[in-house]
């Protein structure tokens, strides 16, 4: 170390540089020491939703009585980066225990490769009890009837609409069919003198990273009776959107963008736009309720279920680790599902807890917007992402195809062109499935 | 005897660097070549050999083709903008080198190069914003309709080119400045006596004599152009409500294939293609710009 | 023969050209730093002012709320510390390996040395991103993921650095000097330490600045190596900046503006080294 310092000192009038090097190294040593200070028992929570960080900290606080030595570190980052770090970290050895928040479909590939351990017996019993979790959620957290995780929350889509804008446009209630969506969008769009939309009638997901576009497309496709991937016999799948349902869906997007001109790609979109009054309605998950409460508390809005059904994406808590730390981690995972914590989750964060038999009425009465998510009509259908290895790749590639299609005015109104686009995308999907030996022939 | 002692010293001295080099450079490069011939998703323990199957899949992959086209356009765009601009600016600064402003010029042109990539890209992202950005404001004052810079397929690529050139210019200008300072003054005086004007001596004397520098700057700029990633990442960053169109570049496609689709072998084959392209372009530049008659 | 009036006309013309060039250069320089000025001004804007149209350069209602939020809620200073540590370590490593290797390759012309030199040269053109992924798995195998050592792994040597020093050694260190020292009975290491290094001062300074900023502004590698907020470098931290559900542009600008300060300070301090060093590298070959 000293030799290095002398070397720096020789390099041209750079006492400042030598000093910088010294300071830098000292800082680093200090950081190092603080980072590697030993803790009694540390578990780390990895989450893909930054808004969940306060929840996990709340759960940790609740555990202080029973686990005085426990230190919980919460690392919540952007979802795509979160999935990446899991892929990279699970294949190498980690110290301590990590609680990994992951959706069941993404977790599948790790379970296939034996990279996540099964849950201990008490957790297993808890999850499999039908009084605690509907079979749908228990299955999502299991593989071949073995439980690997504790279900926590789900993403479920509903419609958010601005009641003031609706009243101004003479509309009394939310749209009930997909055709009504188009009508309403036209009536709600506000335009400037040249006819350009300034407030979009319906904010559709037209751009942005990753698979979100594909998931939103699938949601609308579902209302028309289609799906991106359809299961066939013996665990195989095939693409199911190069058909009339797919055409209707893509047409709806293109008509709204290019024919009725209710929304354009570069307009502000999504939750932020809704909060700022730049769009009249959009579809999203329940976390928006908490976002609106903190960023636009005076916004007059309501929620409504979708015409046929919605996506339900369960997210579970898996544990990676050994020994005492792992036990503490599973205790933590179980603690997240205590009724008190789940009510806190719904109230303060807004994601929907999966556990049944808990009384959420205190929250839903205070915030009627939750009604659309928990009080859905009889016969409401749900779909979820298939638990297969290449699901991310399929959706990402589909998203790229759709983004190109949404940006292409030439195909709007041209049924043949729309069909061609869908066929290309479906072929690509099937190729991926074939490559992974998952294609139903 | 002395030679032997010197040889031993040389070997010992270079050994640490050589070992490090072998570990962090030679081995990974070889491994990339090896992985490109295998099929491996990060998680599984089996890595079957599949020959050139990855490469043939690449040929038909439209996302890869998009990435290749975008990256090529961006790299050459940056090159075409940076080299002439840097030459001219450096010449101008050199002309005024004795004034007190010279260091101000140098500093302000070089700052974009040393400023962290992400803040700078965020600054430009705001400038390009269709609804809020000053660029559209300026254009509307000049009578041009505001454009959606970050969403249009063509304009978004131009945005990346502008951002990259802005960052690369400083380094190029500095290197050229050094070159100008080392040009022999006597030649310039001679040509002035012959009646040549400023621009003429620039064109006929400076540019040819700066060829080695142009070669260096052009190789460096083009190679870093092909490796563009951070800029595309930030300009398209997923801030909900205002994501830009993702300009797909090679490195981005590679990382997506490795860490999102978990196809490391496939990503490695992309890396090999990138390597081959860079090597070929470097060779071309060397043969075009090399001084004739030099070893 | 130049008449007095012609002389003054010539002088006037030269002054006019000078002033024009100054005008062009000043506007150009201002354009270059304008985006950064915007960034700083955005940092002081309140959320509602960010949405103003037309956009303002000088905030009408400046607020420090963004800075307070950023410094309080995100480990920004920690990230700056990480970047600083990483850059210093990398610079030290690169300067020492380049100095030694460059000297040896420049002055010890053995066959084996030429082969080694060719090896370094050949890999110089290979972009880092090409072999980044296997290097990542190496870091994983060594267990240095998510640490400053993992970051360092990709930035320990710089082919260009070796090249630079070698050029400098060839052009500015005369063989006679070394021979004289050898005849006087000096050992090889002593020669390197006492004679060669001081002469390389300028070039090493330039290299140090280059290496420092290369590590300071590196993006792709830290993105895949660091996985916890504590270990982010500045670039990664800002790129993944997200507190709560969405990204707040005002806060992001504040964080970015805050990061500009160390960057520019360091540059201003080290600029002279760099320019001198580059000049003495004999790039004019």
Cα B165-B166-B172 angle, rounded to 5 deg: 70
The pair of three-digit structure tokens given for residue A415, joined into one six-digit string = 């049924």
Using DSSP's 3-state secondary structure scheme, residue A44 falls into: strand
In a domain, A318, yes or no: yes
N residues, chain B: 295
Q: What would the mean pLDDT of A26-49 be, rounded to a whole number? A: 64
Tokens 């931290």, residue?
C237
* Domain termination site, one of A370, A390, A405: A370
**Are C81 and A28 a contacting pair at CB < 8 A?**
yes
Flag whether pLDDT at A37 surpasses 60.
Answer: no
Cβ-nearest to C35 among B9, B123, B258: B123
- Count of domains forming chain A: 2
* Domain termination site, one of A344, A370, A396: A370
| Residue A23 with chain C: CB contacts under 8 Å | 84
The pair of three-digit structure tokens given for residue B62, joined into one six-digit string = 């439209």
In a domain, A32, yes or no: no
> Based on the domain organization, do A167 and A250 belong to the same domain?
yes
Please state, rounded to an integer, the average pLDDT across all residues of chain B. 83
The answer to whether the beta carbons of residues A352 and A153 sit under 8 Å apart is yes
Phi, psi of A199 (to 5 degrees): -125, 120
Flag whether pLDDT at A59 surpasses 90.
Answer: yes
CA dist., res. B146 & res. B133, Å (int): 10
> Based on the domain organization, do A306 and A318 belong to the same domain?
no
Domains located in chain B, CATH noted: 57-289 (1.10.3720.10)
* Residues contacting B47, CB < 8 A, separation 6+: B38, B39, B40, B265
Q: Which of B94, B56, B41, B69 is nearest to B202 (CA)?
A: B94
**HEC profile for chain C?**
CCCHHHHHHHHHHHHHHHHHHHHHHHHHHHHHHHHHHHHHHHHCCCHHHHCCCCCCCCCCCCCCHHHHHHHHHCCHHHHHHHHHHHHHHHHHHHHHHHHHHHHHHHHCCCHHHHHHHHHHHHHHCCCHHHHHHHHHHHHHHHCCCCCHHHHHHCCCCCHHHHHHHHHHHHHHCCHHHHHHHHHCCCCHHHHHHHHHHHHCHHHHHHHHHHHHHHHHCCCHHHHHHCCCHHHCCHHHHHHCCCCCCCCCHHHHHHHHHHHHHHHHHHHHHHHHHHHHHHHCCCCCC
N residues, chain A: 441
DSSP 8-state class, residue A103: E
**Are C202 and A12 a contacting pair at CB < 8 A?**
yes
**B174: Cα separation from own chain's centroid:** 16
Q: Is B284 exposed, middle or buried (0-12, 13-18, 19+ CB in 10 A)?
A: exposed
CA dist., res. B263 & res. B259, Å (int): 7
> Based on the domain organization, do A300 and A393 belong to the same domain?
yes
Q: Is B242 on the interface with A (CB under 8 A)?
A: yes
The pLDDT tens digits of the residues spanning C145-166 come to: 888 999 999 899 988 888 888 8
Q: How confident is the model at residue B290 (pLDDT cuts 50, 70, 90)?
A: low
**Are A110 and B63 a contacting pair at CB < 8 A?**
no
The pLDDT tens digits of the residues spanning B135-163 come to: 888 888 888 877 778 887 888 899 999 99
> Based on the domain organization, do A143 and A171 belong to the same domain?
no
Please indicate whether residue B49 or residue A422 has the higher confidence score (pLDDT). Answer: A422
Please indicate whether residue A92 or residue C253 has the higher confidence score (pLDDT). Answer: C253
The pair of three-digit structure tokens given for residue A17, joined into one six-digit string = 């540089």
CATH number at residue A286: 3.40.190.10
> Based on the domain organization, do A283 and A331 belong to the same domain?
no
Q: Is A394 exposed, middle or buried (0-12, 13-18, 19+ CB in 10 A)?
A: buried
Q: Which of C117, C116, C142, C270 is nearest to C208 (CA)?
A: C270
Q: Is C152 on the interface with B (CB under 8 A)?
A: no
CA dist., res. A81 & res. C60, Å (int): 37
CA dist., res. C222 & res. C210, Å (int): 18
**HEC profile for A409-421?**
HHHCCCHHHHHHH
Q: Which of A347, A349, A327, A206 is nearest to A266 (CA)?
A: A206
Q: Dihedral sign, CA of C139, C140, C144, C147? A: positive
What whole-number percentage of chain C has pLDDT above 90? Answer: 11
Q: Which of A240, A227, A238, A246 is nearest to A433 (CA)?
A: A238
CA dist., res. B32 & res. B276, Å (int): 13
> Based on the domain organization, do A126 and A77 belong to the same domain?
yes
**Are B260 and A80 a contacting pair at CB < 8 A?**
yes
Tokens 């002593």, residue?
C190
CA dist., res. A439 & res. B17, Å (int): 51
> Based on the domain organization, do A177 and A293 belong to the same domain?
yes
CA dist., res. A187 & res. A267, Å (int): 18
> Based on the domain organization, do A166 and A80 belong to the same domain?
no
Q: How far apart are the first and last CA of chain A?
A: 65
Using DSSP's 3-state secondary structure scheme, residue A158 falls into: strand
> Based on the domain organization, do A171 and A195 belong to the same domain?
yes
In a domain, A411, yes or no: yes
The answer to whether the beta carbons of residues C165 and C204 sit under 8 Å apart is yes
In a domain, A239, yes or no: yes
Q: What would the mean pLDDT of B288-292 be, rounded to a whole number? A: 64
pLDDT of residue A4: 37
In a domain, A355, yes or no: yes
Long-range contacts at A271-278 (CB < 8 A, ≥ 24 apart): A271/B240, A271/B241, A271/C245, A271/C246, A272/B240, A272/B241, A272/B242, A272/C246, A273/A200, A273/A203, A273/B241, A274/A160, A274/A162, A274/A203, A274/A299, A274/A301, A275/A299, A276/C51, A277/A162, A277/A165, A277/A199, A278/A198, A278/A199, A278/A200
Query: Residue A316 pairs with which residues in a beta bridge?
Result: A102, A151
Which of A8, A17, A18, A73 should we substitute to test contact with C (largest number of C Cβ atoms within 10 Å)?
A17
> Based on the domain organization, do A294 and A260 belong to the same domain?
yes
The pLDDT tens digits of the residues spanning C110-135 come to: 888 888 888 888 788 788 888 888 89
**Are A294 and C244 a contacting pair at CB < 8 A?**
yes
**Are A407 and B246 a contacting pair at CB < 8 A?**
no
> Based on the domain organization, do A294 and A343 belong to the same domain?
no
> Based on the domain organization, do A298 and A187 belong to the same domain?
yes
Q: Which of B268, B266, B264, B256 is nearest to B41 (CA)?
A: B264
The pair of three-digit structure tokens given for residue C53, joined into one six-digit string = 């149209």
**Are B166 and C234 a contacting pair at CB < 8 A?**
no
The pair of three-digit structure tokens given for residue A306, joined into one six-digit string = 């979708």
Please determine, for the modelled complex, whether the ipTM score is greater than 0.90.
no
In a domain, A144, yes or no: yes
- Distance from the Cα of B104 to chain A's closest Cα (Å) equals 22
In a domain, A23, yes or no: no
Q: How confident is the model at residue B227 (pLDDT cuts 50, 70, 90)?
A: confident
The pair of three-digit structure tokens given for residue C190, joined into one six-digit string = 């002593």
Flag whether pLDDT at B130 surpasses 80.
Answer: no
Please indicate whether residue C223 or residue A184 has the higher confidence score (pLDDT). Answer: A184
- Distance from the Cα of A87 to chain C's closest Cα (Å) equals 11
Q: Dihedral sign, CA of A107, A111, A114, A120? A: positive
CA dist., res. B271 & res. B227, Å (int): 11
pLDDT of residue C244: 47
The pLDDT tens digits of the residues spanning A391-440 come to: 888 998 999 899 889 988 899 888 999 999 999 999 999 999 998 888 98
CA dist., res. B213 & res. B197, Å (int): 23
Domains located in chain C, CATH noted: 4-63 (no CATH), 66-279 (1.10.3720.10)
Domain interval for residue A232: 158-311+381-435
Using DSSP's 3-state secondary structure scheme, residue A102 falls into: strand
In a domain, A35, yes or no: no
Please indicate whether residue A199 or residue A27 has the higher confidence score (pLDDT). Answer: A199
DSSP 8-state class, residue B11: H
| Residue C221 with chain B: CB contacts under 8 Å | none
Residues 116 through 145 of chain C touching chain B, CB cutoff 8 Å: 116, 119-120, 123, 125-135, 137-138
């Amino acid at each position: 170390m000293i030799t290095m310092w002398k070397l720096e000192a020789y390099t041209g009038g750079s006492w400042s540089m030598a000093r910088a090097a010294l300071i830098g190294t000292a800082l680093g040593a200090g950081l190092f020491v603080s980072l590697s200070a030993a803790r009694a028992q540390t578990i780390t929570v990895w989450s893909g939703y930054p808004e969940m960080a306060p929840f996990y900290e709340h759960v940790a606080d609740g555990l202080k009585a029973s686990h005085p030595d426990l230190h919980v570190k919460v690392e919540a980052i952007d979802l795509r980066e979160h999935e990446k770090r899991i892929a990279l970290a699970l294949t190498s050895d980690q110290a301590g225990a990590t609680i990994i928040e992951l959706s069941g479909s993404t977790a599948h590939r790790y379970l296939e490769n034996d990279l996540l351990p099964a849950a201990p017996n008490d957790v297993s019993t808890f999850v499999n009890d039908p009084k605690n979790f509907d079979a749908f959620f228990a299955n999502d957290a299991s593989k071949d009837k073995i439980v690997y995780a504790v279900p926590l929350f789900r993403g479920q889509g509903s419609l958010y609409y601005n009641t003031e804008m609706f009243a101004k446009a003479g509309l009394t209630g939310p749209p009930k069919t997909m055709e009504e969506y188009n009508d309403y969008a036209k009536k709600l769009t506000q335009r400037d003198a040249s006819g350009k939309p300034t407030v979009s009638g319906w904010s559709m997901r037209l751009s942005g990273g990753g698979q979100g576009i594909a998931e939103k497309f699938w949601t609308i496709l579902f209302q028309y009776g289609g799906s991106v991937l359809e299961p066939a016999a013996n665990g195989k799948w095939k693409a199911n959107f190069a058909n009339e349902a797919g055409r209707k869906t893509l047409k709806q997007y293109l008509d709204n963008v290019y024919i009725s001109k209710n929304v354009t790609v570069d307009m502000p979109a999504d939750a932020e736009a809704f909060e700022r009054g730049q769009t009249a309605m959009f579809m999203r998950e329940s976390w928006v309720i908490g976002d609106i409460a903190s960023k636009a508390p005076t916004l007059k809005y309501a929620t409504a279920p979708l015409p046929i059904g919605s996506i339900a994406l369960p997210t579970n808590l898996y544990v990676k680790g050994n020994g005492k730390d792992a036990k503490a981690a599973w205790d933590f995972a179980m603690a997240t599902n205590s009724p008190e914590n789940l009510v806190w989750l719904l109230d303060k964060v807004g994601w929907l807890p999966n556990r049944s038999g808990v009384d959420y009425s205190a929250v839903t009465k205070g915030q009627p917007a939750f009604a659309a998510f928990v009080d859905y009509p009889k016969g409401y259908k749900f779909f979820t992402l298939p638990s297969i290895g290449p699901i991310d790749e399929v959706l990402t590639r589909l998203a790229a195809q759709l983004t190109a299609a949404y940006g292409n005015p030439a195909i709007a109104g041209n049924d043949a062109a729309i069909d061609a686009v869908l066929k290309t995308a479906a072929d690509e999907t099937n190729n991926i499935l074939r490559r992974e030996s998952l294609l139903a022939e | 005897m002395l030679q032997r002692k010197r040889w031993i010293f040389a070997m010992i001295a270079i050994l640490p660097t050589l070992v490090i080099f072998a570990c962090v450079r030679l081995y990974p490069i070889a491994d990339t070549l090896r992985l490109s011939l295998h099929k491996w998703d990060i998680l599984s323990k089996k890595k079957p050999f599949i020959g050139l199957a990855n490469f043939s899949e690449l040929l038909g992959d439209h996302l890869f083709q998009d990435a290749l086209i975008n990256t090529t356009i961006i790299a050459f765009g940056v090159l075409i903008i940076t080299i002439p601009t840097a030459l001219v600016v450096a010449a101008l600064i050199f002309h005024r080198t004795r004034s007190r402003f010279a260091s101000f010029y140098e500093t302000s042109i070089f700052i974009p190069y040393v400023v962290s990539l992400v803040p700078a890209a965020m600054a430009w992202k705001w400038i390009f914003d269709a609804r809020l950005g000053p660029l559209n404001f300026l254009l509307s004052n000049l009578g041009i309709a505001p454009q959606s810079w970050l969403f249009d397929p063509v304009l978004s690529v131009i945005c990346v080119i502008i951002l990259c050139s802005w960052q690369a210019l400083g380094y190029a200008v500095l290197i050229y400045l050094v070159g100008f300072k080392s040009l022999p003054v006597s030649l310039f005086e001679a040509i002035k006596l012959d009646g040549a004007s400023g621009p003429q001596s620039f064109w006929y004397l400076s540019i040819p004599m700066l060829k080695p520098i142009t070669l260096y700057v052009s190789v460096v700029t083009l190679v870093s152009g092909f490796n563009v990633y951070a800029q595309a990442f930030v300009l398209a960053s997923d801030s909900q409500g205002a994501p830009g169109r993702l300009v797909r570049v090679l490195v981005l496609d590679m990382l997506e294939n490795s860490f999102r689709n978990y196809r490391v072998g496939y990503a490695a084959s992309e890396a090999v293609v990138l390597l081959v392209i860079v090597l070929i372009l470097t060779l071309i530049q060397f043969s075009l710009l090399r001084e004739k008659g030099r070893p | 023969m130049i008449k007095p009036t012609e002389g003054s006309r010539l002088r006037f013309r030269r002054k006019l050209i000078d002033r024009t060039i100054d005008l062009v250069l000043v506007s150009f320089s201002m354009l270059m730093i304008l985006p950064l000025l915007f960034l700083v001004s955005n940092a002081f804007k309140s959320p509602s002012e960010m949405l103003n149209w037309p956009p303002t350069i000088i905030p009408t209602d400046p607020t420090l709320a963004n800075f307070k939020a950023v410094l309080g809620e995100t480990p920004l200073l920690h990230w700056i510390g990480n970047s600083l540590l990483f850059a210093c370590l990398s610079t030290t490593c690169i300067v020492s390996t380049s100095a030694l290797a460059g000297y040896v390759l420049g002055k010890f012309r053995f066959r084996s040395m030429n082969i080694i030199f060719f090896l370094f040269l050949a890999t110089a053109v290979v972009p880092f991103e090409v072999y980044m992924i296997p290097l990542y798995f190496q870091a994983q195998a060594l267990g240095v993921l998510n640490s400053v050592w993992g970051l360092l792994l990709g930035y320990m040597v710089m082919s260009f650095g070796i090249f630079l020093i070698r050029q400098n050694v060839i052009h500015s260190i005369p063989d006679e000097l070394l021979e004289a020292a050898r005849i006087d009975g000096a050992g090889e290491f002593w020669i390197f330490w006492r004679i060669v290094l001081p002469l390389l001062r300028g070039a090493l300074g330039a290299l140090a600045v280059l290496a420092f900023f290369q590590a300071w502004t590196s993006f792709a590698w830290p993105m895949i190596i660091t996985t916890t907020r504590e270990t982010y470098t500045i670039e990664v931290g800002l790129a993944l900046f997200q507190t709560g559900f969405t990204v707040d542009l005002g806060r992001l600008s504040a964080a970015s503006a805050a990061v500009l300060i160390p960057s520019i300070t360091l540059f201003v301090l080290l600029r002279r080294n760099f320019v001198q060093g580059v000049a003495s590298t004999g790039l004019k070959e």
